[in-house]
Chains A and B, each alone.
Chain A
């Protein structure tokens, strides 16, 4: 992975010392809360319902074991022994004290981590395909470009006060595991017929109050022109974005208002003015690329006898292998997805002990590489098939071997009203109720891929708009109600879900999901996923079943 140099480390040390001084001045009364609030947010520190919350950046969801162990230690020392992985592939600590925060930032800096640009109207943590460098599908390693964007966007003075926050996702596979089409900028690496690499540039997707699937404004941008082109996009946005209205300030509103052709024209005009002076020199690109080159693969046979024997002998491992192991580009290796969606657990939460187990496994079996997915799970991207059973056994011992990746209980849920100061309703208990309802693993496998995503408010941190089943918590005169949407997708076939009908009360949601699944099982044809069936039948049979039962 990318290694910080002395300059990077000095910047973090300086920033941490600066925040220590700001906290001291706030505690002494030298500066007011109004003056301090933006300073703490620039360091990822929010005030939530019960305590402060610190959001730690995990660039493109990539961690080494030392970093994960440090997060585990911080969780144990300064929080309640756990952390919460988010849909931005960050980690949030929910029980943080302001007075401890400068020390925590020092500890993070000691392992090249920080909480900078995890809040505020700036370019946030860049996300990338969690299978980067491991999947045979990719045309290039998206981390190279995500790292280049990270360096370019960190402390970029021109883009530190945008009209609103700004999020990039980078993928290089046809199968999109980053939700690129619902980002402010989604970059999809492609290879032209002549072998040249380029980006499909998608701009103005987003969720929140006004969801959009972003249009493609350029089908093929040569990779060496990335920096100047995104700079042109950001300049057009910075100039014309709606700073007058918080709800219209994201780039998606500007792109929709101008139309994608006019927006693209303005970007091209700006791009022509910028020229190539800010583009990444080949030498620098090669330096970054070198940080991701992996040489530790062995030459292995395509079939692992140990793996096949273990599957035959242990049905639970066979189930794990079916659902949580994904094909690796190297023969004899596999990608291991670690579900943080144990039945009845909080989606995305990992205890300090669990983080340490994953760090140990990465070190022992996984070439020291750990990823966080935007679906709030972890990945060991490079595990030998020969070692898969040992990894599974250790995960099972730690309670994180739930074999449900992409199944009905692999639910995204934001922290919701249990923690978040913005939320209108709880999200976590809804996820828990649904997961309990589908505890039967045979039934879950029969249902197949089904992505449920739950947000506790319209800001849509739980990505409900792009859930095959989306669930949005709303406040109806002080009571928690839930608005269901169907047919959303954050993948390469992105779409925004359609409303099912009137919002349902808290204790009706899990039953309604069960009913929706039963309708799907009744209606599905030829191996259709839930999403495919919904797209074929439309909302009618689902609506009829849910609301017929409501009467």
Chain B
């Protein structure tokens, strides 16, 4: 499965695509199967929203405790918040999806991020 993520332009908040708009919680993200061409099409739509978001890319998901979680550790930290401050970021809200993300194990980088690797 895949989801589409970005950072919101005005505040840098991590956001996920859901049916034409961007939501803050991964739990509300729209998901696509790996072979669904709509994912790529939607990525294009997301990138076109240049005054709303930046760094738009698809992330791979993995099943965790019966729910979906980002495969890569980096993406789980984005969806949760920093591990040194459990009260900062989205993890502070708690809930089943947050817990599933916290317990997830993955073994790969996000495929879509390769084009975005930034330089200092």
- Chain A residues 258 to 286 lying within 8 A of chain B, measured CB to CB, are none
A98–B120 alpha-carbon span in the complex (Å): 18
Quick check: which of A296-304, A319-327, A414-422 contacts chain B, the rest being far away?
A414-422
- Chain B contacts for A48, CB-based, 8 A: 12
Contact between A418 and B12, CB atoms less than 8 A apart: no
Contact between B12 and A28, CB atoms less than 8 A apart: no
Contact between B89 and A50, CB atoms less than 8 A apart: yes
Q: How many residues of B contact A (CB 8 A)?
A: 31
Contact between B12 and A96, CB atoms less than 8 A apart: yes
Contact between A50 and B10, CB atoms less than 8 A apart: no
Distance of A371 from chain B, by nearest CB (Å): 25
A426–B85 alpha-carbon span in the complex (Å): 13
A137–B81 alpha-carbon span in the complex (Å): 45
Does B115 interact with chain A (Cβ within 8 Å)?
Answer: no
- Chain A contacts for B40, CB-based, 8 A: none
Contact between A99 and B10, CB atoms less than 8 A apart: yes
Contact between A418 and B82, CB atoms less than 8 A apart: yes
- Chain B residues 57 to 108 lying within 8 A of chain A, measured CB to CB, are 71-74, 77-78, 81-85, 88-89, 106-108
Distance of B98 from chain A, by nearest CB (Å): 15
Does A119 interact with chain B (Cβ within 8 Å)?
Answer: yes
Does A485 interact with chain B (Cβ within 8 Å)?
Answer: no
Contact between B109 and A47, CB atoms less than 8 A apart: no
Query: Which partner residue on chain A sits nearest B72 by CB separation?
Result: A478
Residue of B55, B77, B108 near A47 (CB, 8 A) is B55
Residue of B12, B72, B85 near A51 (CB, 8 A) is B12
Does A49 interact with chain B (Cβ within 8 Å)?
Answer: yes
- Chain A contacts for B50, CB-based, 8 A: 29, 32-33
A97-B11, A119-B120 as given contacts; A480 in contact with B73, CB under 8 Å: yes
Query: Which partner residue on chain B sits nearest A49 by CB separation?
Result: B78
Contact between B10 and A27, CB atoms less than 8 A apart: yes
Does A520 interact with chain B (Cβ within 8 Å)?
Answer: no
- Chain A contacts for B120, CB-based, 8 A: 119, 165, 422, 459
| B contact face: mostly helix, strand, loop, or mixed | loop
- Chain A residues 381 to 422 lying within 8 A of chain B, measured CB to CB, are 417-419, 421-422
A158–B9 alpha-carbon span in the complex (Å): 32
Query: Which partner residue on chain A sits nearest B80 by CB separation?
Result: A50
- Chain A contacts for B78, CB-based, 8 A: 49-50
- Chain A contacts for B10, CB-based, 8 A: 27, 97-99
Contact between B11 and A418, CB atoms less than 8 A apart: no
- Chain A contacts for B71, CB-based, 8 A: 478
Distance of B120 from chain A, by nearest CB (Å): 6
- Chain A contacts for B55, CB-based, 8 A: 47
Mark A418-442 against chain B: 1 for CB-CB distance below 8 A, else 0: 1101100010110010000000000
- Chain B contacts for A119, CB-based, 8 A: 120
Query: Which partner residue on chain B sits nearest A428 by CB separation?
Result: B84
Residue of B74, B88, B89, B108 near A417 (CB, 8 A) is B74
- Chain A contacts for B7, CB-based, 8 A: 47
Does A477 interact with chain B (Cβ within 8 Å)?
Answer: yes
Residue of B11, B51, B88 near A29 (CB, 8 A) is B51
Distance of B82 from chain A, by nearest CB (Å): 4
Does B14 interact with chain A (Cβ within 8 Å)?
Answer: yes
- Chain A contacts for B89, CB-based, 8 A: 50
- Chain A contacts for B11, CB-based, 8 A: 51-52, 97-99
Does A475 interact with chain B (Cβ within 8 Å)?
Answer: yes
Does A80 interact with chain B (Cβ within 8 Å)?
Answer: yes
Contact between B84 and A417, CB atoms less than 8 A apart: no
Does A511 interact with chain B (Cβ within 8 Å)?
Answer: no
Does B54 interact with chain A (Cβ within 8 Å)?
Answer: yes
Distance of B46 from chain A, by nearest CB (Å): 13
Does B43 interact with chain A (Cβ within 8 Å)?
Answer: no
Does A514 interact with chain B (Cβ within 8 Å)?
Answer: no
Query: Which partner residue on chain B sits nearest A94 by CB separation?
Result: B82
Contact between A417 and B77, CB atoms less than 8 A apart: yes
- Chain B contacts for A96, CB-based, 8 A: 12
Residue of B12, B77, B109, B119 near A52 (CB, 8 A) is B12
Contact between B73 and A98, CB atoms less than 8 A apart: no
A95-B88, A429-B84 as given contacts; A28 in contact with B13, CB under 8 Å: no
Distance of A27 from chain B, by nearest CB (Å): 7
Contact between B12 and A429, CB atoms less than 8 A apart: no
Does A507 interact with chain B (Cβ within 8 Å)?
Answer: no
- Chain B contacts for A26, CB-based, 8 A: 9
Does A479 interact with chain B (Cβ within 8 Å)?
Answer: yes
Query: Which partner residue on chain B sits nearest A34 by CB separation?
Result: B50
A49–B71 alpha-carbon span in the complex (Å): 16
Does A346 interact with chain B (Cβ within 8 Å)?
Answer: yes
Residue of A32, A51, A478 near B106 (CB, 8 A) is A478
Distance of A50 from chain B, by nearest CB (Å): 6
Mark A307-326 against chain B: 1 for CB-CB distance below 8 A, else 0: 00000000000000000000
- Chain B contacts for A27, CB-based, 8 A: 9-10, 51
Interface residues of B (CB under 8 A from A): 7, 9-14, 50-51, 54-55, 71-74, 77-78, 81-85, 88-89, 106-109, 118-120
A-B contact pairs, 10 of them (CB 8 A): A50-B12, A50-B81, A96-B12, A97-B12, A98-B10, A99-B11, A119-B120, A417-B77, A422-B119, A477-B107
Besides A47-B54, A50-B78, A478-B108, 14 more A-B contacts (Cβ < 8 Å) are: A29-B50, A33-B9, A33-B54, A49-B77, A50-B13, A50-B81, A95-B88, A119-B120, A165-B120, A419-B82, A426-B83, A429-B84, A478-B107, A479-B73
Top 8 nearest A-B pairs by Cβ distance? A418-B82, A97-B11, A51-B12, A52-B12, A29-B51, A478-B107, A478-B108, A428-B84
